[in-house]
Amino acid sequence: MNDTHSLAEFTLRGVHAFTIAAWLLFDFIVYWLHFKVKDARADLHERLERAHIMHGIDTVVAYIFIGTLPIGIALAWLTNTPLFSTEWLNWKHLMYGLIIVAAIVLIPVSGTALRNLEAMKKGAPNVDELNRQIERDMNRAMPWVFLIWTLIIAMTLISVLNIKCPHCHQLIFG
């Protein structure tokens, strides 16, 4: 393997690892923010500000989530690993598919909170109902969030346990 190929593979692995780490970090920030957003006793302006931040971070997370797939495909191509050729990679594909399902379930949650809080700011008469909807939707989202985190961690462990020594072509942890 030439030095250019090794550098490209190392760089792509680093970018892939960075995107996964950023994904988890940003997801955790959204999780932390949601507590104040769903707290009906908190100041409306603070809740609305945090909901805007959550929505923005969720947008970044969506781009990172979408970007991990082509980076992973490029890495598989660069390492000459056909996409459906190994059991560990097939497990990662399955988990990524489950994350897609969970993400589809989660898409409306931050938007609902933001929309409801904006309505409250404009003087909506049904504040209690809007607050209940925010809390209900966010509480229903939590199992899906935890599923995504679990799957990301499992995919990371699968990847780490299948890293090959660049010079000996044997699994490092195998």
* Cα separation, 89 vs 164, whole angstroms: 14
Q: Is the pLDDT of residue 63 over 60?
A: yes
Q: What is the pLDDT of residue 127?
A: 96
pLDDT over threshold 90, residue 138: yes
Q: Which residues contact 101 (CB under 8 A, 6 or more apart)?
A: none
CA angle 70/146/68 to nearest 5° reads 10
pLDDT at 12 over 80: yes
> Other CB atoms closer than 10 Å to residue 23's CB: what's the count?
22
- Quick one: pLDDT at residue 47? 97
* Angstrom distance (rounded) from CA 106 to CA 104: 5
Lowest mean pLDDT among 48-62, 68-82, 91-105: 68-82
**What pLDDT is recorded for position 1?**
55
Using CA atoms of 4, 167, 161, 150 in order, give the dihedral in degrees to the nearest 10. Answer: -10
Q: How confident is the model at residue 142 (pLDDT cuts 50, 70, 90)?
A: very high
E-only strand ranges, 26-145: none
